[in-house]
Amino acid sequence: MIKEFLLPDLGEGLTESEIVSWHVAVGDIVTLNQVIADVETAKAVVELPSPYAGRVAQLHEQAGTVVEVGAPIVSFEVAGTDTGNGGDAGGRAGASGATAEGTAPAMFSPEEPQKRTPNLVGYGAVPERTGRPARRRWLTDGQAQAPAAAASAPAPAPASPNAGAAEPDVVAESSVSPTAERPRSTPPVRKLARDLGIDLADISGTGPHGLIVRSDVTRAAEENAADVADVLGDATQPNVGARLLPPSSADPGPAPGVGTSGVREERVPIAGMRKHTAAAMVASAFTAPHVTVFLTVDVTESMELLARLRGQKTFEGVKLTPLTLAAKAVCLALQRHPSLNSRWDEAARDIVQYRYVNLGIAAATPRGLMVPNIKDAQALGLRELAAALGTLAQTARAGKTTPADLSGGTFSISNVGVFGIDAGTPILNPGEAGILALGAVRQQPWVHDGALAVRQVMTLSLSFDHRLVDGEQGARFLSDVGAVLEEPAMALALM
């Protein structure tokens, strides 16, 4: 029996998504909730699990295709009889995973209770096998290296007449074995990998029989951190003028020089994250009347405080940067100036003032600009805030930021100082009343205690929605943030 899987609405109210890559090919055996594809929405790349267990009969769309919600993307050949749900991805019909010999086990009897398994697209199909599942057998090194005859055997032809329409090159390019196992690890290690944005398939386990252990995951996270520029890095810049930075990871690569032979221009489709970012920026710029104010502050005491805190055992394992202190200062200042932590609801003719802070951090990723946010940042201490910033950065770099992480922000920070930039006029994240840009920390001549001295100086740039925030309110908020960064002890006065 053939079951079609329709592209679901991934919970964001979007009308289309792009298939980034397939994890399966025609003829592969899949299990319930096995990840079959990476799908890019306007906000993030998410893993799409299979609502059925059975054999892949047809891939209706190729990788790179933009598909409308509700359109069929893959067909499965499943065991059993039709229950009347047709191609509904939330139907109760489905087949269990195949055995080692490739045969389907017995189905549930109608009288047996069937428990539905939650997944990304609803409750999916019901596992149609009872009894205790067989234990996974650890492979010896010799067995792991020897190709299995069953794995290399060609899959039988699909039963559906439509299955023959599947593109043959998709099958030929597939290197997925029908009986391939997912990387072996324990649940705590898998959770750690998810939190750090690490793909276990890219890790070689050092535990018994190739088991992936905690140290393998942390080592991979450290290697990733070394390979990618840290968007939460120290914004301290020497006074050497402009400096050459590596190109953005979001750019496709260096373009040929002017006057060279070959193609003189290239057209790139407007899709995915770039399409969403463009729409959001245009909507924000032409809906909210932007006002930007600037303040240059002496942050020498803040830099000295960070140096002292880095040497304390309490802050071992977390990265402390000017952004950490600025994030804390913003949370404190928002309590005194709630107009900066509000939203203009045109439809309801209301101004929504938040009693919590979901602090967005603008992050430059290979997919483009993203603004994930830290939920209830106002409730976090300095160490917890630093740890949350580190996790946010690692997840964004790995492309594992979820739609939930990108939704619900109330105020944002953009740390342009890591690129050597002093100031700017940031555009508001849609639905937010304010965004603060942090400039580079530079050594400059400054009047300190009535005398000229070399001090560490930073420029703050605050953009706000003038419908929600008066000039006085914006100025007082920025003054409070600057006061904390100039003299960290002032944070006690704002608590």
Cβ contacts of residue 91 below 8 Å, gap of 6+?
A: 3, 51, 83, 85, 125
User: Which neighbouring-strand residues pair with 45?
Assistant: 40
Token look-up 């990998």 returns: 193
Q: Which position among 276, 290, 448, 466 bears the catalytic label? A: 466
How far CA 32 is from CA of 190, 288, 494, in Å, comes to 18, 46, 52
First CA to last CA distance, the chain: 64
Q: How many angstroms separate the CA atoms of 133 and 130, rounded?
A: 8
Q: CA-based angle 254:259:265, to the nearest 5? A: 55
Are 98 and 104 a contacting pair, CB within 8 Å?
yes
Q: Kind of pairing, strands 411-414 and 72-77?
A: unpaired
Question: What is the 3-state composition of the chain as percent helix, strand, coil, each rounded to the nearest 5?
Answer: 30, 20, 50
Q: Is 182 exposed, middle or buried (0-12, 13-18, 19+ CB in 10 A)?
A: exposed
Q: CA-based angle 471:376:315, to the nearest 5? A: 105
Q: How many angstroms separate the CA atoms of 488 and 469, rounded?
A: 26
Cβ contacts of residue 482 below 8 Å, gap of 6+?
A: 295, 297, 460
466 is catalytic: yes
Q: How many angstroms separate the CA atoms of 280 and 81, rounded?
A: 47
Supply the DSSP string of 367-426, one letter for each residue: TEEE--EETTGGG--HHHHHHHHHHHHHHHHTT---HHHHS---EEEE-GGGGT-----P
214-227 vs 382-397: helix crossing angle, rounded to 10: 80
Catalytic residues: 466
